[in-house]
A and B are shown apart, each in its own frame.
Chain A
Amino acid sequence: MAEHPELLPYGIIREDLFRPLSRAGSKWWFTVTVCFLLVLAGLAAWGVQLRDGLGVTGLNRPVFWGLYIVDFVFWIGISHAGTLISAILRLTDAAWRKPVTRAAEAITLFALMIGGLFPIIHLGRAWFFYWLIPYPNARLMWPNFRSPLVWDLVAILTYVTGSAIYLYLPLIPDMAQLGAHNKPWRRKLYTTLSLGWTGSDREWHALEMAMKLNAVIILAIAISVHTVVAWDFSMSIAPTWHSTMFGPYFVVGAIFSGIGALIIVMATLRRTLHLENYLIKRHFDNMSKLMLTMSLLWFYFTMSEHITIWYGNEPKEMGVFGQRTRGDYAFWFWTMVVVNFVIPVTLLGIKKLRSITTAVIASFGVLIGMWLERYLIVVPTLVTPRLASATSVYSPSWVELMITVATFAAMILLYLLFARLFPIIAVWEYKPHSPEEED
């Protein structure tokens, strides 16, 4: 490696961004252990469910979908973090996104992996989940491609593949750089993953072309994925589910919750990995403005949804509306409005109040609010069936709650492991293109 004094800044950049890979404090080990234990507990809860049946949940007739579906939609929503930041900002050449892209793309991939588990977890006979996949079999049967759940399968598989590739491609140059720097098993890992990258202009050119194409494609995929998830509800004729707005509504909500997750992750990384010089107030400012926009958009959609239901006054829909705004779910509904709209608009809209701390507070609120929103979409409708005699109440059981908690622990765990193995900021993307240029 060349040693010239004027190159020190770049050396420092690389050192700063590679340092987390070589050392981990006791806090890291503690968090990893706690999360790991929670994940184990979640797996045990799932084991109980597999052994005893879905009866261990709080589900019943007519509330056949509960926490698992809420979690499913929530996690797939979080996965839109990476897509927005990486794809849209890459396409619009917004330079400020550079330190944020890999962290966002990692959120996307892990959220998708976790969210994609829930369609399996919620099955009555989960061990037969592969029957949704078309493969030649002795029954000579195929899955029903008309079902939105099969569309879900195709969409999520596509998105996972796309996200994994989108995360991996810009990792390759960093892997090549790390190949010389570490312990033997890591060296082997990094050199294998770098595919023999030499840094030639041909490779760079191909990489940049691939990134550009992928950005466009993954944007198209992301919008369709959450639309398809929304269509699990819209294609049904259950009151208030059968809404033409659900597609865009869910996409907006997904991007909204995604940014919230991203802000929390960025603030945590900044603190724990000492990246104060790389994740500066300007980044949080821009992301806060994005989140503010999404909050306004979310409010617009929620209001449109509810005002049209109320004005239309269709009895079955009004039953659900009443449950949400005045009935058993009123507290959660208005809490959701406060944390999704009132707090973000106040904290992020008023310039004086906008800071990294308030952005994180607003983001936590948004995550809670968006989870509540999914809950309020799934459960009130099922609790008010068209034939009122079939009504019931739903209260989640310990199994469902344990699994929900375990998925949050799994997300944190996966992220901690990722940040230890790979530089969370793409070193090559961060540096300017030539020694004379300043960022």
Chain B
Amino acid sequence: MPTGKETHTDQAKPHRWGMVIDLDRCTGCEACVVACHAENNIAVSNPEEAARGRVNHWLRVDRYYEGQFPDVKVKYRPVLCQHCDEAPCEPVCPVNATYHNPEGLNVQVYNRCVGTFYCANNCPYTVRSFNWFDPQWPEPMQLQHNPDVSLRPGGVMEKCTFCIQRIKRVEESADAGSRPVADGEVQPACVQSCPAEAMVFGDLNDPDSKVSRLAGDGRATKLMEELGTKPKVVYLDRAR
């Protein structure tokens, strides 16, 4: 009888994936947003739908403006699924389409989702998006689909997965080579594409990983931590 648990024979302890985003380095260029779209086969919207609030950004860059022109300061914050350890989106799904896997990821099971929207309403970060129609890609965009990522039908919720397909691929090759996963070997598309190297991804269970060290930095904060969601994305506050 399946128990939903996964086993890794090579690891002494299962991975616990986390991310650190340095807000001081972030320039708001949104390369990460584009990379995410490309990697994860996200449906392309159009101007009418975008005006109605229907763009599927799994990762978005929030802009906060201070002051008036010409003394405007802009602060950027990339917001993605925080993969909360006590995610409010998980217990409310009536069909178990979203749950917490043993590696700490909040996983979305597309073929189980019936589209009740409860998870999206309960996410305080509003990181979940919905496929309002069967996704379309203008020719020839459909040729650049990532074969590792399933195409979601209309009526299904989706969100950032920490590029679980890349995690799986690295874990499989590590298993095949009978070696542990190296720090920095797993790079989600956003982390890989950031020109300022503002994003770091790794195993929080490994105390020597770059992510663990940065997560203990003096500038480390979490978004809306007071809600008790226990997010696993750490933001390093701007130095000034």
Contacts and interface: CB of A to CB of B under 8 A. Distances in A.
B22 to A, nearest CB: 20
Given A61-B126, A63-B53, A131-B114, A144 B157 contact: no
Contact of A387 (B79, B113, B115, B132): B79
B143 interface: no
Given A53-B133, A54-B132, A392-B53, A123 B114 contact: yes
Interface stretch (B9-17, B86-94, B168-176, B197-205): B86-94
Interface string B130-149: 11111000000000000000
Contacts of A141: 95-96, 112
A64 B95 contact: no
A52 interface: yes
Contacts of B129: 61
- With most chain B CB atoms within 10 A of its CB, the pick from A140, A144, A235, A385 is A144
A125 B113 contact: yes
Contact of A60 (B53, B96, B156, B224): B53
Nearest to A58: B52
A62 B133 contact: no
Nearest to A130: B114
Contacts of B60: 389-390
A124 B154 contact: yes
Contacts of B132: 53-55, 59-60
Given A64-B117, A64-B120, A149 B94 contact: yes
A238 B2 contact: no
A398 interface: no
B94 A132 contact: yes
B4 to A, nearest CB: 10
Contact of A147 (B52, B94, B112): B94
Contacts of A61: 53-55, 120, 126, 128-130
A386 interface: yes
Contacts of A236: 88, 92, 118, 121-122
Nearest to B125: A387
B72 interface: no
A148 interface: yes
B231 to A, nearest CB: 13
B101 interface: no
Nearest to A236: B122
Contacts, number: 142
Contacts of B94: 132, 143-144, 147, 149-150, 153
B124 interface: yes
Nearest to B223: A387
A367 B19 CA distance: 50
B150 interface: no
B95 A124 contact: no
B1 interface: yes
Contact of B157 (A52, A124, A129, A147): A124
Given A54-B115, A132-B114, A144 B124 contact: no
A150 B79 CA distance: 31
B28 interface: no
Contact of B114 (A65, A125, A390): A125
A125 B227 contact: no
B49 interface: yes
A55 B2 CA distance: 36
A261 interface: no
A163 B92 CA distance: 28
A149 B134 contact: no
Contact of A55 (B79, B92, B154): B154
B63 interface: yes
Contacts of A153: 94
A237 interface: yes
A122 B114 CA distance: 10
A147 B92 contact: yes
A149 B54 CA distance: 25
Interface string B29-46: 000000000000000000
Q: Which 6 residue pairs are nearest across A and B when measured between Cβ atoms? A: A124-B115, A55-B132, A124-B155, A60-B53, A392-B53, A390-B126
Interface of B: 1-2, 49, 52-55, 60, 62-63, 79, 88, 91-96, 112-118, 120-122, 124-126, 128-134, 153-157, 224, 227
9 contacts: A53-B133, A54-B155, A55-B132, A60-B132, A62-B121, A140-B2, A143-B95, A149-B116, A390-B60
